[in-house]
Amino acid sequence: MSIPFFSIDFTFSEWRAFIKSHWRPFNTSERNGKELDKILKNRFPGKNVTLFPSARMAFYFVLKNTFNKGDEVIFPAMGFPLYVKIALQLGLKPKLVDVEDGHYTIDHSVLKKTITPETKGIVITHLFGHPCQMDEIMKMADEKNLKVVEDAAQSFDSFYKGKETGTFGYAGIFSCSLMKVPTTLGGGILLTDDFLLHKKIEVELTSLKYSKKVKDALIFYIKNIISILNSFPLIYTSLTHHIFGLVKNRNPILLRKVLYSGMGLMSNKFDPWERPMLAKYQLYVGSAQFNRTREMTKIRIKYSAIFDNILSKSSAITILPCSEHCFWNRQYHVIKLKTKEHMNFIFDDMFKKGFHLMKEDVWDCTSYDFSNDIASDCIVSQTHTPALIRIPNNSLLTSATIEQIAIELVKSSDKYFIDNND
């Protein structure tokens, strides 16, 4: 059986909630679901909470209402490139700072040297769910009176010294897209201590002129349905994997565009109203998912331990370590290979065997055309990102399947070096 890159972990009650409300995918009248709002406020006491149709939209509004045109804002060289793009679109001056070797979060020692009198804010990314070194970062920010915006899209249920990521800075942003835990099938959450920022954004959202066309909501709804169906191993095995294989053989660039189309990297300009506001079915599903995230996190951590145990037997595979004082949710299990060529071989070989992995080279912000004037010496990002690959790690898989993926990865890696040393 082929293994898809991700699967949607729904319980019976969540499926029931989805089916119960699926006939109202266009209902945007109740922007904040009362139940979901209550869950989030209990989870993050004292925080002002706002729901968005996407994390990128939340990020747009935070930057728009926090900084002024011409302000210098620091970004990690490995992070979501679209966020850098949004900063430029708003007239800010982003500056890229290199990341630490290993877990690939922003290097606080380099960050310290990069801050100038013109710096007004720092965007950090808890990449792959691994927490940044928040003590050092917040100390620098407090000393220089800088606003820290946490990109916590991948780090729900990750903690630094017992405090959850997304709750340290001026603003924290979570993603609830299809591949996240929890998921609202596309959505974002903004946390902030600043009540004025919260109210200002709330006013803007209630008066926004985003498209309410049935067509837009229907397209988004259909995309969700297709993604959910393709996350089932049986459907992926019998249909999607073969389609991807045909596209990959004939036009690998097209396949890449399909896989990364949802990242917003293909358009010239970010449209904050690109998605309809959260519908009823998303709010219902979100409420159910948030009540069991810890359970799903435990499973991913268990599977990561299996991966690490087996993959550590290969000298050609580097396992990403967990830093001291960090509780890593293992949202994604990422490994580093020797070279880009090694990574490409593994990706292709595993695909032939039916395992769909994900190349992680999209995270190198220095590789995009907008980075020419803002990237400094980001050696780690530039040299490591092309050799990173993400492995399926979700709670619908079994321990036996995880072992199978890991064993096949080791075999593929060994095969690469045998073939290239002949």
pLDDT tens for 270-309 read: 887 777 777 777 888 888 888 888 999 999 999 999 999 9
Select the more confidently predicted residue: 258 or 362.
362
CB-based contacts of 336, cutoff 8 Å, min separation 6: 317, 318, 320, 384, 387, 388
pLDDT number for residue 273: 75
pLDDT number for residue 411: 95
Does position 28 have pLDDT exceeding 50, yes or no? no
**What's the per-residue H, E or C state across 26-59?**
CCCCCCCCHHHHHHHHHHCCCCEEEEECCHHHHH
- DSSP secondary structure string, 259-278? HHGGGT-SSSS--TTSSPPP
Q: Which amino acid is at 307?
A: F
- Residue of 189, 207, 225 lying closest to 41 (CA atoms): 189
CB-based contacts of 152, cutoff 8 Å, min separation 6: 126, 158, 165, 166, 172, 173, 174
Mean per-residue pLDDT for 15-29? 61
Does position 387 have pLDDT exceeding 70, yes or no? yes
β-pair partners for 364: 78
Element housing 373 (H / E): none
Element housing 74 (H / E): strand 72-76
CB 123 within 8 A of CB 149: yes
Give the Cα separation of 251 and 246 in Å (integer): 8
Record the tokens describing residue 410, joined without a space: 């080791």
Give the Cα separation of 181 and 157 in Å (integer): 9
Does position 230 have pLDDT exceeding 70, yes or no? yes
What does residue 293 show for φ and ψ, rounded to 5 degrees?
A: -65, -35
- Residue 122: pLDDT band by 50, 70, 90 thresholds? very high
Where do the structural domains in the chain lie, given as residue ranges? Answer: 1-422
β-pair partners for 75: 96
pLDDT number for residue 14: 79
What does residue 126 show for φ and ψ, rounded to 5 degrees?
A: -80, 75
β-pair partners for 320: none
Mean residue pLDDT of the chain comes to 86
CATH architecture of 1-422: 3-Layer(aba) Sandwich (3.40)
What does residue 224 show for φ and ψ, rounded to 5 degrees?
A: -60, -45
pLDDT number for residue 191: 97
Give the Cα separation of 210 and 271 in Å (integer): 10
Record the tokens describing residue 309, joined without a space: 């145990």
Give the Cα separation of 332 and 329 in Å (integer): 8
Determine the Cα angle at 222 with ends 220 and 223, to 5°: 65
β-pair partners for 106: 99
Give the Cα separation of 200 and 64 in Å (integer): 11
Element housing 343 (H / E): helix 340-352
- Residue of 185, 57, 76 lying closest to 127 (CA atoms): 76
- Residue of 139, 75, 148, 83 lying closest to 107 (CA atoms): 75
- Residue 419: pLDDT band by 50, 70, 90 thresholds? confident
The 10s digit of each residue's pLDDT in 130-185 is 999 999 999 999 999 999 999 999 999 999 999 999 999 999 999 998 888 888 88
Give the Cα separation of 100 and 76 in Å (integer): 10
SS3 content of the chain, % helix, strand, coil (to 5): 50, 15, 35
